[in-house]
């Protein structure tokens, strides 16, 4: 009989996940078995917990599956490896993170580095298939990213929260190449704090961060924000325009509500760029003709790619990015999600199954 491990699984649509026992998975061809050192909890996990069955089925997901898509761990073993696996750079015992965004590696979008658009992207580890809230997980070798001496028990959030922030920053960095350029980050939760650090590492721009929570604002200041503002509300756009000498060049909105989108659009100068990263589903019920800056561009929801994960892993290794995480045991996972849902966390929670 196969050996068993603990796993936190969604077993039925619309029901709370359960801490249960499942067989330790066996790596298939060109896959590795990874001992999970830490798995970051993400807001999208909460969405999955309450997702109607029709939505999950339309995504091609089948119950049950183990949650968790921000995974750091160590390589335990490999399945049979073909010549195309490029496994020679990895060894048993090595610390890695697993690319969170799923991709096929073969389609036209994958070939041009736009794995976010790959038709395989809707199902991955922790969203439709077994993820990292377990003692072990399997992953294709092509999803492994080496992290050197970084602690894999804390590095999981690199693969999603930090990578998503990096994707947005990399895309707007061309607007932020002079010291008198400015960028507003709306929201200083997990993603916003990463966005601050990556902006500070990759651009000379002045970084303005807006958040309601004073603890998050002070963390943003420690992590590269030049100025922090209380918000988001009706006065936010005016405050941002004043703080940026007439308007910011770039807005990175990691919230995505009606209020944040309107505040962001109204705080931009002409020719700027608005990156919508947050997935709160906000609307923009304003006339686009008279309310918004001229010549601005808008980036819709983006996600991240393998290149982003590698880039943030490198920034972490250089000390340009800090991981603001607190750790919890797998037995504490339900309470940890409750705290995430309450919305008052500073940084990310990483669940360490070995604790
Ligand atoms: Zn996520
Ligand atoms: Zn693809």
- The pair of three-digit structure tokens given for residue 296, joined into one six-digit string: 């601005």
Question: What architecture (CATH level 2) is domain 164-299?
Answer: 3-Layer(aba) Sandwich (3.40)
Query: Considering every ligand atom, which ligand is closest to the CA of 101?
Result: 1
Q: What local confidence, expressed as pLDDT, does residue 49 receive?
A: 95
DSSP code, position 180: T
pTM value is 0.91
**pLDDT > 90 fraction of the chain, expressed in percent and rounded:** 86
Q: What local confidence, expressed as pLDDT, does residue 290 receive?
A: 74
Domain ranges of the chain: 4-160+304-352, 164-299
Is the pLDDT at 170 greater than 90? The verdict is yes
Please say whether the beta carbons of 65 and 10 come within 8 A: yes
Query: Considering every ligand atom, which ligand is closest to the CA of 47?
Result: 1
235-271 pLDDT per residue, tens: 999 999 999 999 999 999 999 999 999 999 999 999 9
Largest CA distance in the chain: 68
User: What is the Å distance from ligand 2's center to 304 Cα?
Assistant: 13
DSSP code, position 102: -
**pLDDT > 70 fraction of the chain, expressed in percent and rounded:** 100
Report cis status (omega within 30 of 0) of the bond before 232.
Answer: yes
Report cis status (omega within 30 of 0) of the bond before 288.
Answer: no
279-301 pLDDT per residue, tens: 888 988 777 777 788 899 999 87
Mean pLDDT across the chain? 94
* Angle subtended by helix axes 161-172 and 306-317, to nearest 10: 100
The closest of 125, 117, 132, 133 to 100, measured between CA atoms, is 125
Query: Considering every ligand atom, which ligand is closest to the CA of 107?
Result: 2
Q: What local confidence, expressed as pLDDT, does residue 1 receive?
A: 60
Task: Select the more confidently predicted residue: 290 or 183.
Answer: 183
User: What is the Å distance from ligand 2's center to 121 Cα?
Assistant: 8
As a whole number of angstroms, the distance between CA 21 and CA 9 comes to: 9
CA angle 351, 343, 305 (to 5 degrees): 60
Please say whether the beta carbons of 268 and 293 come within 8 A: yes
User: What is the Å distance from ligand 2's center to 165 Cα?
Assistant: 21
Work out the average pLDDT over 109-123: 93
User: What is the Å distance from ligand 1's center to 44 Cα?
Assistant: 5
Fold of 4-160+304-352: Quinone Oxidoreductase; Chain A, domain 1 (3.90.180)
44-97 pLDDT per residue, tens: 999 999 999 999 999 999 999 999 999 999 999 999 999 888 889 999 999 999
């Amino acid at each position: 009989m196969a050996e068993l491990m603990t796993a936190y699984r969604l077993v039925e649509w619309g029901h709370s996940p359960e801490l249960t026992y499942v067989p330790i998975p066996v790596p298939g061809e060109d896959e590795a078995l990874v001992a999970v050192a830490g798995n970051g909890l993400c807001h999208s996990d909460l969405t999955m917990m309450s997702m109607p069955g029709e939505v999950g089925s339309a995504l091609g997901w089948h119950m049950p599956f183990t949650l968790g898509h921000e995974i750091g761990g160590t390589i335990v073993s490999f399945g049979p490896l073909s010549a195309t696996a490029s496994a020679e750079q990895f060894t048993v015992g090595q610390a890695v993170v697993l690319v969170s965004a799923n991709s096929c590696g073969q389609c036209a979008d994958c070939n041009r580095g736009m794995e976010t658009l790959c038709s395989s992207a809707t199902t991955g580890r922790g969203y439709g298939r077994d993820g990292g809230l377990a003692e072990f997980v399997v992953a294709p070798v092509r999803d492994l990213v080496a992290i050197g001496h970084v602690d894999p028990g804390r590095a999981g959030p690199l693969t999603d929260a930090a990578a998503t922030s990096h994707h947005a920053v990399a895309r707007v960095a061309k607007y932020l190449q002079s010291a008198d350029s400015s960028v507003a980050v709306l929201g200083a939760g997990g993603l916003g704090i990463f966005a601050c650090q990556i902006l500070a590492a990759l651009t000379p721009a002045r970084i303005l961060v807006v958040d309601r929570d004073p603890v998050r604002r002070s963390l943003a200041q420690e992590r590269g924000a030049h100025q922090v503002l209380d918000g988001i509300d009706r006065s936010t756009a005016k405050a941002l325009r004043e703080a940026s000498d007439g308007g910011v060049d770039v807005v990175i909105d990691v919230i995505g509500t009606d209020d944040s989108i309107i505040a962001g659009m109204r705080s931009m100068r002409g020719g700027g760029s608005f990156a919508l990263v947050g997935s709160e589903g906000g609307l923009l019920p304003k006339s686009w003709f008279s309310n918004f800056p001229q010549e601005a561009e808008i980036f819709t929801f983006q996600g991240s790619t393998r290149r982003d994960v590698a880039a943030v892993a490198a920034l972490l290794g250089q000390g340009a990015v800090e991981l603001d995480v607190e750790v919890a045991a797998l037995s504490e996972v339900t309470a940890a999600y409750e705290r995430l849902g309450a919305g008052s966390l500073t940084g990310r929670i990483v669940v360490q199954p070995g604790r």
